[in-house]
């Protein structure tokens, strides 16, 4: 099954190409502070974080772990503009890619607040913008697969069903990203069994059969 999914993957996906463009579109955070869409605390953190130097980001995260999660989740919850949401998601994804253990930051914050770590990201799967939904999906897969805490059953089924529906979607330009997320999830026994329970295997096989002559 993993080999079949690998066949759907190309070197560079549409998601990665678009993310490269979005990284170069710096966001001016000042208007968000002036309009009180974000707090002074969140503004201070994101301005200090949004720099090219990885060492500076690392020092900031180490000394402000909970603030890091809080700021990113506040931005996801309070910013409605698609282009800014895209940028925030790229920042989060890059942060996790730099150091896999950073996924625990979101769990630590959720546990302290008594909230779901998955809710803010699962909600984004309902957005209309394809980049936002698929980048949120990529982050969900990373947190689910790289964390010591497994994804809860109801959230897991919701996410796997979303991935299954994305596989079925005709002419989905983000199919490679969907396949990458699925590939990560299916490496973990608990998630693989859950995918079987939502009838994911038959969907995957039918999609692969339909793509025999389709280059992804």
Which of 81-95, 99-113, 164-178 has the least mean pLDDT?
164-178
Q: Determine the structural domain holding residue 201 and report its residue range.
A: 2-210
Q: How many domains is the chain built from?
A: 1
| Pair of tokens at residue 115 | 């909230």
What span, in angstroms and rounded, lies between the C-alpha atoms of 177 and 186?
Answer: 14
Would you say residue 106 lies in a domain? Answer: yes
C-alpha triplet 8, 14, 20: angle, nearest 5°: 135
Would you say residue 215 lies in a domain? Answer: no
Confidence band of 68 (pLDDT split at 50, 70, 90)? very high
Q: Across all residues in the chain, what is the average pLDDT?
A: 91
- Higher-pLDDT residue of 90, 199: 90
| Mean pLDDT on 143-171 | 95
| Pair of tokens at residue 9 | 């993957």
pLDDT at 206: 84
Confidence band of 216 (pLDDT split at 50, 70, 90)? very low
Dihedral sign for Cα atoms in the order 83, 88, 93, 99? positive
What span, in angstroms and rounded, lies between the C-alpha atoms of 111 and 25?
Answer: 33
Quick one: which of 85, 81, 88, 100 has its CA closest to 45?
88
pLDDT at 209: 77
pTM for this entry:
0.91
CATH of the domain at 183: 1.25.10
Backbone dihedral region for residue 37 (phi beyond 0: left; psi -120 to 50: alpha; all else: beta): alpha
Confidence band of 182 (pLDDT split at 50, 70, 90)? very high
Would you say residue 216 lies in a domain? Answer: no
Would you say residue 98 lies in a domain? Answer: yes
- Higher-pLDDT residue of 62, 205: 62
| Pair of tokens at residue 39 | 């707090």
Confidence band of 204 (pLDDT split at 50, 70, 90)? confident
What span, in angstroms and rounded, lies between the C-alpha atoms of 191 and 180?
Answer: 14
Quick one: which of 163, 166, 124 has its CA closest to 141?
163
Is pLDDT of 210 > 80?
A: no
Share of the chain above pLDDT 90, in %: 84
pLDDT at 9: 55
DSSP 102: G
């Amino acid at each position: 099954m993993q080999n079949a999914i690998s066949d759907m993957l190309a070197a560079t996906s549409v998601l990665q190409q678009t993310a490269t463009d979005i990284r170069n579109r710096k966001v001016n955070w000042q208007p968000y502070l002036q309009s009180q869409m974000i707090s002074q605390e969140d503004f201070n953190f994101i301005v200090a974080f949004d720099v090219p130097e990885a060492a500076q980001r690392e020092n900031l995260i180490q000394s402000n772990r909970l603030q890091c999660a809080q700021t990113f989740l506040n931005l996801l919850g309070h910013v409605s503009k698609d282009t800014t949401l895209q940028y925030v998601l790229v920042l989060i994804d890059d942060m996790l890619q730099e150091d896999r253990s950073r996924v625990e930051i979101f769990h630590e914050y959720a546990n302290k607040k008594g909230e779901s770590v998955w809710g803010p990201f699962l909600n984004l799967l309902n957005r209309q913008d394809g980049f936002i939904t698929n980048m949120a999906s990529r982050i969900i897969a990373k947190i689910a697969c790289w964390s010591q805490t497994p994804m809860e059953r109801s959230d897991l089924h919701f996410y796997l069903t979303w991935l299954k529906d994305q596989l079925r979607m005709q002419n989905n330009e983000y199919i490679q990203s969907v396949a990458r997320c699925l590939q990560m999830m299916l490496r973990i026994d608990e998630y693989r069994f859950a995918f079987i329970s939502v009838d994911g295997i038959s969907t995957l096989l039918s999609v692969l059969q339909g793509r025999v002559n389709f280059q992804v």
